[in-house]
Amino acid sequence: MRAHTGGCHCGRVRFEVLAPARFSVSDCNCSMCSKLGYLHLIVPAGRFKLLSGSDALATYTFNTGVAKHFFCSTCGVKSFYIPRSHPDGISVNARCIDGGSIESMEIKLFDGRDWEKGRAAYDELDN
C-alpha cells in the first residue's frame, strides 16, 4: 500500500488515500460520472483521510439518495464521494490524485446507465 495525496482544483480540499501503486479504476457512463470524467478508485472508508477542507465541502444527492456527492464549494471539483455501490466506502476520483505516486492504472468500463445490471456484472468480475 502507498499513501496517495490529492484534492480539488483550488487546493482547499485535500485528502490521503491508501492504495497500491498499481490499481484499477471504474469509468462509469451514468449521467453524473460521464459529465464529470470521474474515474472511481473505491476503497474502504478506513483507507481514506480528509486532510483539509471539510468546511469547504458541499453535498449533492439524487435518485436513491444513497450516494453522497461531495464537492468543493469554491472550485466545484468532486474529488471523492460515498458511492451507492459501496456505502461504507469512499470513491476517490483518480484524476484528482497528485502526480508521482501512481505507477499504473487500469481503466474498466462500468455501465452506470443501467446501474442494476452494471452492478451485477461488476460484482461477477470481483468474484
Instruction: Please indicate whether residue 115 or residue 7 has the higher confidence score (pLDDT).
Output: 7
pLDDT in tens, 33-78: 899 999 999 999 999 999 999 999 999 998 888 899 999 999 999 9
Predicted structure pTM score: 0.87
Query: What pLDDT, on the 0 to 100 scale, is given for residue 119?
Result: 64
Rounded Cα–Cα distance for residues 32 and 3 (Å)? 27
Task: Map residue 72 onto helix, strand or coil.
Answer: strand
The three grid cell numbers given for residue 64, joined into one nine-digit string = 436513491
Q: Which domains are delineated in the chain?
A: 2-126 (2.170.150.70)
DSSP state of 117: H
Whether the predicted pLDDT of 25 surpasses 70? yes
